[in-house]
Amino acid sequence: MTTSPHSKERTLASSEDRILASIRKFGALSRAELGERLGYSRATVASALDRLLMLKIIKEERELGQSQGGRRPRIYGINRDLGFVVGVDIGATHLDLALADFKGNILEQVSNPADVHEEPEKVLGTVIELIKQALEKQNGRLDQILAIGIGVPGPVQFDQGILIAPPLMPAWEFFPIREFMQQTFTAANVIVDNDVNVMAIGESCAGAGKNIDNFIFVKISTGIGAGILCQGEIYRGHDGAAGDVGHICVDYNGPTCHCGNVGCLEAMAAGPAIAARGIEAAQNNQSEKLAQAFTDNNGTLTAELVGDAAKAGDAAANEIVKSSGRMIGGMLASLVNFFNPQLIIIGGSVSHIGIRLLSAIRQAVLRRSTALSTRHLHIEFSQLGNDAGVIGAIWLSLEHVFTVDV
Amino acid sequence: MTTSPHSKERTLASSEDRILASIRKFGALSRAELGERLGYSRATVASALDRLLMLKIIKEERELGQSQGGRRPRIYGINRDLGFVVGVDIGATHLDLALADFKGNILEQVSNPADVHEEPEKVLGTVIELIKQALEKQNGRLDQILAIGIGVPGPVQFDQGILIAPPLMPAWEFFPIREFMQQTFTAANVIVDNDVNVMAIGESCAGAGKNIDNFIFVKISTGIGAGILCQGEIYRGHDGAAGDVGHICVDYNGPTCHCGNVGCLEAMAAGPAIAARGIEAAQNNQSEKLAQAFTDNNGTLTAELVGDAAKAGDAAANEIVKSSGRMIGGMLASLVNFFNPQLIIIGGSVSHIGIRLLSAIRQAVLRRSTALSTRHLHIEFSQLGNDAGVIGAIWLSLEHVFTVDV
């Protein structure tokens, strides 16, 4: 467990930490409200607030709170000026980065092409440069960065912040991302997590999953993965491998997946499979629209182009989109029986190909899950869309500003 | 949230509760060990211990603890004589019941035939009689029963202790089990949970799942269900329906299940399916052993008899057992990809039909799960066997002796 040089001084007692988390979640609160919510005595609240005020982590707000009978009470909120945090979403071909204040408000945001197949030093070098540029615009200093949250497209050993056997980015295996970043940002806690977990955190803190304790976030793009929110916290599994739903088998006679198995959901329903089926339909004259798009796009198609044709009413494209939704929904039906979540959030770049995808997913889940487990289940699109990763990374960093052991 | 009449006086502060849980889990501990384990100050430990000692919930042990440099410290353990708790495991055709001391040691245990299709008043009336008889043998009084844990074969709304849409026992839906029992046992908290969850609690506290935070307990009997231990606690899902893995589809062209869907795991791999396939083999002259057993057993077979033939080396019976294991393992492979547990425990009456079942389950999981998610995975038989339910119910009750809101 590595810690940033300053993190020891910043360590919070459990009561302080829980008070901070409550204020972060619910906004500014009075002493009485904090005591009530957390079951703390007045003395515990008082001494924890004193320390948080002394460290300038929270501040007394100018406004007063709601009266509960007597005079209106003082309320305490996050001190947004304590310092900066950074959220980084590293994708296969790009990176998104945002600088935020201590309240999570985004101050600067930037997108940059990046190739995750390259050495981590190179990609992270770009990240460092982009953070420095954003900081300069805000007239900030390097040591004002309190935490950096980083989402990466691979399995992460969360407590150490390293990637384990990442298929997309083999050069990153065991690379000490945290220590590398802390050479420049000496005051920052650096937290690394799987990209889908980070998106789920984003939806949980600021999107479709707000105030929902148990949900599954499904990312549909080049691959398919899930982030699991369980009892209000991200569940990562025993080896950090939880949520790897793209390799659940949906057809024992299906095509071979890059993982070596056959019939994986990812190989049959993710972006490349949708594109391949679109190309097949274009070449077999099953769809004029797809054939036209195929020609216009230099003899190839993407899942997005198949989606465009579906939105324009093309029957073959629609069937491709629905078939993908049915397979994803069939897999999710099993997970609904097992996990009985309150919500499933559908996100990732390929989720944008249309509401027919969502509709097919919903139908398949309802058909194949038990009645009791779907009684209160909602299945919705992501609210944060393309920003889920970067917003989630900011919230991940905010959660760990004062953490010694991740 | 109903509470027993005395439970208010018995409510523990969070620090007291956590200290008690630690002592329960790890055995008698010293003040220093408690402070270390829980991150509490000396003052917090001291005041919590004082109250727990005053309430006679814990006691100072005669032995001293390990020296950590200075003199050997006093250690504090559970006061087993505080009162009694009861564990009840209600099955479709029988009920198992045990009276235990406050440390969880079983003092009296009894099994009784019961028909869960009958009115809850009748079945619970039998439970009350059996508790009274056990109590009498121990010279105990009704008001010395501090908590009663009850496992039932159906979906439970845990916070209210009622069954929701239970297919096996429709007459029990919404029946106020807790209030009914508390009319007799006025000092008892009564906690009702799904039978498979209760078995998982048993394995977690006293069986194969000890000290393991994330595991799946699979019960294979007339049906198939799972109990989920997640971050050290039973996970029940949003509607109390989590773990209903028997109705996960394993064959879209499979037979119709009693739930109305086709190809449910339960319809294809549980006890009745194994028996039916055994009967088919007996009648089609595929196996002399099965034909003989079929005749000896008055023209029918059970899963256990098919298991006996398999153990005696019958090829057809073996293939039936292995086929069931393959289907269960195929379903579990999906859950391993999703949940990445450290352990899967195989229990329930039909799990006894042999190690070929376990071997087939293991093979199927290894074949179809990702390499990372099986890196540390163990798949084992239940350690508690037929007692998992009743032992789990005791531990469930012990966890909730001092709970106001379940």
- DSSP string covering B29-43: B-HHHHHHHHT--HH
Contacts of A240 in chain B (CB under 8 A): 340, 372
Rg of chain A over Cα atoms, rounded to whole angstroms, equals 23
Q: Do B261 and A342 touch (CB under 8 A)?
A: no
pLDDT at A1 over 50: no
| DSSP code per residue over B317-354 | HHHHHHHHHHHHHHHHHHHHHHH--SEEEEESGGGGG-
Helix H or strand E segment including A56: none
The owner of tokens 């893995």 is B245
Q: Do B241 and A155 touch (CB under 8 A)?
A: no
> Can you name the residues that pair with A256 across neighbouring β-strands?
A262
Strands A145-152 and A84-90: parallel
| CB contact (8 A) between residue A338 and residue B236 | no
The whole-model pTM stands at: 0.92
Cβ A338–B259 below 8 Å, yes or no? no
Name the residue with tokens 């991200």: A234
C-alpha B231/C-alpha A152 separation (Å) is 24
Query: If you search the block for the tokens 């080049």, which residue do you land on?
Result: A222
Phi-psi region of B387 (alpha: psi -120 to 50; beta: other; left: phi over 0): alpha
pLDDT per residue as tens digits for the range A363-375: 999 999 998 999 9
Residue B227 vs residues A396, B91, B199, B216: alpha-carbon distances, Å: 30, 16, 8, 6
Q: What does DSSP say about strands A343-347 and A378-381: parallel, antiparallel, or unpaired?
A: parallel
Q: Which of A247, A367, A376 sits opposite B238 (nearest CB)?
A: A376
Minimum-distance CB partner of B239 among A261, A368, A376:
A376
Share above pLDDT 90 across residues of chain A, in percent, rounded to a whole number: 81
Identity of the residue in A241, A338, A367 whose CB atom sits nearest the CB atom of B245: A338
CA dist., res. A98 & res. A89, Å (int): 9
Q: How far apart, in whole angstroms, are the C-alpha atoms of residue A225 and residue A35?
A: 39
How far does the CA of residue B392 sit from the closest CA of chain A (Å)?
A: 21
A255-259, A339-343, B141-145, B313-317: lowest mean pLDDT where? A255-259
Question: Which amino acid, one-letter code, is at B39?
Answer: G
Alpha carbon separation from A278 to A309, A315, B286 (Å, rounded): 10, 11, 48
Q: Measuring CA to CA, which residue among A270, A324, A331, A378 is closest to residue B249?
A: A331
pLDDT tens digits for range A281-302: 999 999 999 999 999 999 999 9
List CB contacts (< 8 A) between A164 and chain B.
372
C-alpha distances in angstroms, A374 versus A229, A345, A356, A377, A383? 17, 14, 20, 5, 21
Q: Which two tokens stand for residue B164?
A: 């929701």
Q: How many interchain CB pairs under 8 A, A with B?
A: 145
A-chain residues within 8 Å CB-CB of B335?
A: 334, 338
Distance from CA of B386 to the nearest CA of A (A): 24
The model's confidence at residue A15, banded by pLDDT at 50, 70 and 90, is confident
Residues in chain B closer than 8 A to A51 (CB atoms): none
A94 token code pair: 């790009």
pLDDT of amino acid B7? 47
In whole angstroms, give the CA distance from residue A211 to residue A213: 6
Q: How far is CA A203 from CA A34, A273, A339, in A?
A: 25, 27, 19
| Residues A244, B372: C-beta atoms closer than 8 Å | yes
Closest-CA distance, A142 to chain B, in angstroms, reads: 33
Query: Å from A149 to nearest chain B CA?
Result: 23
Half-sphere exposure for B111 (CA within 13 Å, toward CB): 8
Bridge-based pairing of strands A106-113 and A94-101 is: antiparallel
Q: Using an 8 Å CB-CB cutoff, list chain B residues near A225.
A: none
**DSSP code for A338:** H
Best mutation target, B370, B375, B405, to test chain A (most A CBs within 10 A)? B370
Here the tokens at position A146 are: 């309190």
Residue B172 contacts residue B152 (beta carbons within 8 Å):
yes
pLDDT at A8: 46
Q: What is the pLDDT along chain B (406 residues), one digit of tens a residue?
A: 333 444 445 688 888 999 999 999 889 999 999 988 887 888 889 999 999 999 999 999 988 888 878 889 999 999 999 999 999 999 888 899 999 999 999 999 999 999 988 999 999 999 999 999 999 999 999 999 999 999 999 999 999 999 988 888 999 999 999 999 999 999 999 999 999 999 999 999 999 999 999 999 999 999 999 999 999 999 999 999 999 999 999 998 899 998 889 999 999 999 999 999 999 999 999 999 999 999 999 999 999 999 999 999 999 999 999 999 999 999 999 999 999 999 999 999 999 898 899 999 999 999 999 989 999 999 999 999 999 999 999 999 999 998 765 4
Phi-psi bin for A7: left (phi > 0), alpha (psi -120 to 50), beta? alpha
Long-range CB pairs of A66-73, under 8 A, 24+ apart, other chains included: A68/A32, A73/A30, A73/A31, A73/A32
- Interchain pair B237, A243: CB under 8 A: no
Residues 6+ apart with CB under 8 A from B171: B117, B118, B119, B120
* H or E element at residue B138: none
How far apart CA A261 and CA A256 sit, in angstroms, is 6
Query: In terms of CA atoms, which chain A residue is nearest residue B248?
Result: A334
Which SS3 state, helix, strand or coil, does residue B168 take? Answer: coil
Helix/strand number for chain B, H first, E second: 14, 14
SS3 A127: helix
Q: Do A341 and B237 touch (CB under 8 A)?
A: yes
Question: Does the beta-carbon distance from A248 to B334 stay under 8 Å?
Answer: yes
Mean pLDDT of all residues belonging to chain A: 93
On whether the CB atoms of residues A67 and A73 are closer than 8 A, the answer is yes
B338 contact residues in A (CB cutoff 8 A) = 226, 228, 242-245, 248, 335, 338-339
Which chain B residues have a beta carbon less than 8 Å from that of A241?
A: 337, 340, 370, 372-373
Q: CA of B253 to nearest chain A CA: how many angstroms apart?
A: 12
Q: Which of A280, A325, A279, A323 is nearest to A305 (CA)?
A: A279
Interatomic CA distance for residues B375 and B397, integer angstroms: 35
**Cross-chain residue pair B340–A240, CB shorter than 8 Å:** yes
DSSP state of B201: H
Record: contact B340-A239, CB cut-off 8 A: yes
Q: In this complex, which of B214, B237, B373 lies closest to A339 when CB atoms are compared?
A: B237
Q: Say if residue A3's pLDDT is above 60.
A: no
Best mutation target, B236, B252, B336, B372, to test chain A (most A CBs within 10 A)? B372
Tokens of B16: 């007291």
Q: B279-287 long-range contacts, Cβ below 8 Å, gap at least 24?
A: B281/B316, B281/B317, B281/B320, B286/B316, B287/B314, B287/B315, B287/B316, B287/B317
- The nearest alpha carbon in chain A to B213 belongs to A238
Which residue of B235, B368, B376 is in closest CB contact with A238?
B376
Cβ neighbours of B330 in A, within 8 Å: 249
CA dist., res. B31 & res. A78, Å (int): 36
Structural tokens at position B135: 């109590």
CA B37/CA A214 separation, integer angstroms = 28
> Hey, what are A399's tokens?
């959660």
User: B231 and A235 in contact by Cβ < 8 A?
Assistant: yes
CA distance, residue B334 to nearest chain A CA (Å): 5
**Of all helices (H) and strands (E), which one includes residue A211?**
none
The angle, 0 to 180 degrees and rounded to 10, between the axes of the packed helices B315-339 and B303-311 is: 110
Q: Which ranges of B209-354 does DSSP label H, i.e. alpha helix?
A: 265-269, 271-283, 288-296, 303-311, 315-339
